[in-house]
Structure 1
Amino acid sequence: MASSSLPPPLPSSTSLTSQQSSSPPSQLPIRKMPGSYGWPLVGPLSDRLDYFWFQGPEKFFKSRSEKYKSTVFRTNIPPAFPFLGNVNPNIVAVLDVKSFSYLFDMDLVDKRDVLIGDFRPSLDFYGGIRVGVYLDTTEPKHAKVKSFAMEILKRSSEVWLRELLSNLDKFWETVESDISKNPDGGASYLIGLQRCMFNFLSTAMTGANPSVSPDIAENGWKMLDKWLAIQVIPTTKIGILQPLEEIFLHSWAYPFFLVAGDYKKLYDFISENAGDVIRLGDEEYGLTRDETVHNLLFNLGFNAYGGFSIFLPSLIGKIAGDTTGLQERLRTEVRKVCGSGSVLNFRTVNEMELVKSVVYETLRLNPPVPLQYARARDDFKISSHDAVYEVKKGELLCGYQPLVMRDASIFDDPEEFKPDRFVGETGSKLLNYLFWSNGPQTGTPSASNKQCAAKEMVTITAALIIANLFLRYDKITGDAGSIKTVVKAT
């Protein structure tokens, strides 16, 4: 069953599983869930070494799926420190689109404190507050924080476009200057891109423009990089020389004091310069100043800045490195839609079907957050395409998105980058199965679910970046780390 014969689309309600079936659940065999956790200590250690060292995350999940002949199975996911006993490594892996969708059925699963699995960094990283991403939908504070986040994005729409295009102009000018200084080597653009995204997102999301603080303008993006890194490094494969990575990076959780000074600077910057947004949190959503600022910092730093820092290099690299004629097709579409006046806005970019499809396809193959987690509220039955399995209350479900989004039952030639995959009627139906945002692309973020509040802003921002690129240039060459050449628009 490929994209030409799709399963029914996901329902629009919060219950995603009842219709997510290529055949009715009653027709699927009930199977004992394969896999095991192994001997205490030995099993988790063996899986940890496979995950971080001998296999890597993708091969770790893929090899076990092949071994058990199932996309649903029990295994261990490496915690930061398996010998201390305060992190449970046991998970139920869900590696196909159908079983993965259960992670977003809030009637069945709990999202409390599972952003990075059973491991949660110290609350000191968030001012001692459990920010919105760590709250389950049943917790009263969740609705307030999520509604606040969505309202901020709604109110920022007028500023968003202006700030994005203004900062992109500075970014591309820097790239051009660097290329002129080093025509043979090109320009490494990752630092410039992060600086661009930080300045744009800070102003658009919080109203705090980094230009008012020389220190934040120069170093704010670095502060966020460090704050992000020491939270996630204990559970992330870095790829440096082993066993040094295991010994020094994956054996303990890093203390907050390493970035406490930087975080205070960012907190003070938001607190002093985001007055309108802070008043909104207080007056309309009943949030304290601390709750508002720490949630703003998390949304800015972890969700927005962190996500774009991972996703955009993949997008730019795919376009810059293409040799199939994709750039010419994108350029033609962008300039046709924008017309002779080169008018770029939310309306015009929404008409660029190929541009949006390229964004979706990049998100499919390179999701910014590869691992998604949820905990079973009670015992329930979970379906893959082939069978039904019993999940026990309290079990932690884990989906590895890079494999889920290459489900051959849903996507034709799933390993291949197809820029037109999401074009047309058939392509639009596939958006039901694109899950990069903690829910389907056709879903709607709300206070009752955990879907990314900025889902639409992320995709439209990425599309705006592509469109801006092809209004400015006829062609670029490069990869996910550097741009070799640019040919200005004629």
Structure 2
Amino acid sequence: MSASQSDTKAALLPEKTIPGSYGIPFITPIKDRLDFFSNEFQFFQSRVDSYGSTIVRLNAPPGPFMAKNPKVVAILDGKSFPVLFDTSKVEKKNVFTGTYMPSTALTGGYRVCAYLDPSEPNHTKIKQLLLDILFSRKDHVIPEFRRAYQKLFGDMDAEIAKSGKFVFNDNNDGAGFEFLGRLFFGVSPSETELGAGGVKNANLWLLAQLCPLMVLGLPKILEELLIHTFPLPPFLFKGKYQGLYKYVSSVATDALKMAENLGLSREEAIHNLVFAVCFNSLGGIKVLFPGILRYIALAGKDLQANLASEVRSAVSSTGGELTVEALEKMPLTKSVVYESLRLDPPVKYQYGVVKKDMVIESHDRSYEVKAGEMLFGYQPFATRDKKIFGPDADKFVADRFIGEEGARLLQFVLWSNGPETVDPTPLDKQCPGKNLIVLISRLLVAEFFLRYDFFTAEIGVVPLAVKTTITSLTKASG
């Protein structure tokens, strides 16, 4: 059946009732929360299997006490998912983290850009500020990235020689934070009062906001009581946040001038810059980079040999310099990054509140949703849609995005809160750093295979990300 025939069929078969149940108030949301944190992918798969639908009603975590209303309509296929990006149909006010919102005491009393709907006056100003900063600093991306990650790789060489293991995650956080500070503001966090431990401030502050949606590895009963039932008190993190605030306020001279020209107050701009650097950007690096290396490690020697050959050939063709021109000659490298973003997007969940009664369509059905209902998209399910990506949708296919068919599939890579084929604007909710994240992910792979021929890794789990521990390295000869 063609796509147009499928659309026609869906339009002709509206469903009055979305399958699923919210169950008994208070009791069922807690049960659903326990099921979710036991195995979130299976939590959704079981409901798709049970109801024979990729659009279902369920309770989203964290549930009672934290969420005013845990009831959502879950969207679990690649066809219906883009409705979450359409701000003419859904409102994005205060839904960045879903059915609950962290206290604004964690962001200086401000609702930062991520929690603003595009209809709110300051949304456009703040997002324009972020886009302007990234544009003004574009020439610094490659040199600052190489500076930070060449140091990381040097530390990795030394630690592998000493102990035989290197936990990439721990060191990646620090390198990423240094890179972002120098990229956004031209000043290393470690060279200021914040010091080398500044990334710990950022990680603890991040934890305070996201722990209701996280598994920390504690006994389940403790996690339920400590992080899934009630929010952590913001005062516990006030000192950590003040350190981040002082750093940004002292080094963001150019950025704050841009903010003033856009009509933003200094205070609001600083709090948004802290969020953009420490939550949006560092959070993305924290999750994505270990995941990319995980997939490459598990793929084995053939892929690694092909990547090394592609990277070195491209860099050789540009006079031995790793440049944007060289990166554009690395299609396999780019495809590996897109495939990693498809399988494990840094932000797994998207939300939106329906503005007015409407119909949403999956591949084979249509459903009515009412104004005021919350839509909850679980992206790793939607971007593994077999009706879009085929029978190997659950597998890592390194060259999936090469060639014409690969280019066509890019519209279904949705990690940035929008299709990969669309660029962010001040008027939408797509990640302003979308192109930056793709660029530095490609730089990570290129920089790695300029230096190494082959590596192995042990894979585990840490909060928010996979844990990638490098266990062996073969350095490039010559």
Shorter-chain TM-score above 0.5: yes
In structure 2, C-alpha distance between the alignment counterparts of 1:286 and 1:351, rounded to whole Å: 41
User: Are the equivalent residues in 1 in contact too, given 2:202–2:278 (CA < 8 A)?
Assistant: yes
In structure 2, C-alpha distance between the alignment counterparts of 1:199 and 1:75, rounded to whole Å: 41
1:419 and 2:398 are equivalent in the alignment: yes
In structure 1, C-alpha distance between the alignment counterparts of 2:455 and 2:294, rounded to whole Å: 10
The equivalent position to 1:318 in structure 2, one of 295, 309, 325, is: 295
In structure 1, C-alpha distance between the alignment counterparts of 2:411 and 2:214, rounded to whole Å: 29
The equivalent position to 1:58 in structure 2, one of 33, 37, 41, is: 41
1:272-283 matched pairs, under 5 angstroms: 272-283=250-261
Quote the sequence identity (%).
39
TM-score, normalisation: structure 2: 0.94
Partner SS state of residue 200, structure 1: helix
RMSD over aligned CA atoms reads: 1.6
Letter in 1 for 2:29: P
The equivalent position to 1:293 in structure 2, one of 258, 266, 270, is: 270
1:208 and 2:187 are equivalent in the alignment: yes
TM-score, normalisation: structure 1: 0.92
Residues 172 and 36 (structure 1), Cα distance of their counterparts in 2 relative to 1, 3 Å cut:
same
The equivalent position to 1:118 in structure 2, one of 99, 105, 117, is: 99
User: Are the equivalent residues in 1 in contact too, given 2:127–2:426 (CA < 8 A)?
Assistant: yes
In structure 1, C-alpha distance between the alignment counterparts of 2:438 and 2:10, rounded to whole Å: 37
In structure 2, C-alpha distance between the alignment counterparts of 1:25 and 1:297, rounded to whole Å: 48
Shift of 1:474: 1.8
User: Are the equivalent residues in 2 in contact too, given 1:188–1:481 (CA < 8 A)?
Assistant: yes
Residues 52 and 211 (structure 1), Cα distance of their counterparts in 2 relative to 1, 3 Å cut:
closer
Shift of 1:351: 2.3
User: Are the equivalent residues in 2 in contact too, given 1:132–1:295 (CA < 8 A)?
Assistant: yes
Shift of 1:324: 5.2
1:309 and 2:286 are equivalent in the alignment: yes
Paired residue for 1:36? 21
Shift of 1:26: 6.3
Residues matched between the structures, number: 466
Paired residue for 1:234? 212
User: Are the equivalent residues in 1 in contact too, given 2:61–2:99 (CA < 8 A)?
Assistant: no
Offset from partner CA, 1:267-290 (integer Å, 9 cap, x none): 11110111111111112x111111
Letter in 2 for 1:297: V
Shift of 1:370: 1.0
Partner SS state of residue 299, structure 2: coil
1:460 and 2:447 are equivalent in the alignment: no
Paired residue for 2:7? 23
Offset from partner CA, 1:113-157 (integer Å, 9 cap, x none): 001112000001110011100000111111101111111111111
Shift of 1:482: 1.3
Mark the runs of 5 or more structure 1 residues left unpaired by the alignment: 9-20
Partner SS state of residue 321, structure 1: helix
Offset from partner CA, 1:302-340 (integer Å, 9 cap, x none): 110011101110101221333250001111111111116
User: Are the equivalent residues in 2 in contact too, given 1:375–1:396 (CA < 8 A)?
Assistant: yes
1:360 and 2:344 are equivalent in the alignment: no
Paired residue for 2:50? 67
In structure 2, C-alpha distance between the alignment counterparts of 1:93 and 1:27, rounded to whole Å: 20
Letter in 1 for 2:25: P
Partner SS state of residue 481, structure 1: strand
Offset from partner CA, 1:434-462 (integer Å, 9 cap, x none): 10000000011001110111111111110
In structure 2, C-alpha distance between the alignment counterparts of 1:22 and 1:324, rounded to whole Å: 41
Letter in 1 for 2:389: F
The equivalent position to 2:382 in structure 1, one of 386, 396, 404, is: 404
Residues 243 and 162 (structure 1), Cα distance of their counterparts in 2 relative to 1, 3 Å cut:
same
User: Are the equivalent residues in 2 in contact too, given 1:156–1:205 (CA < 8 A)?
Assistant: yes
Letter in 2 for 1:228: L
Mark the runs of 5 or more structure 2 residues left unpaired by the alignment: 459-466
After superposing the two structures, state which structure 1 stretch, 373-382 or 237-246, moved more. 237-246
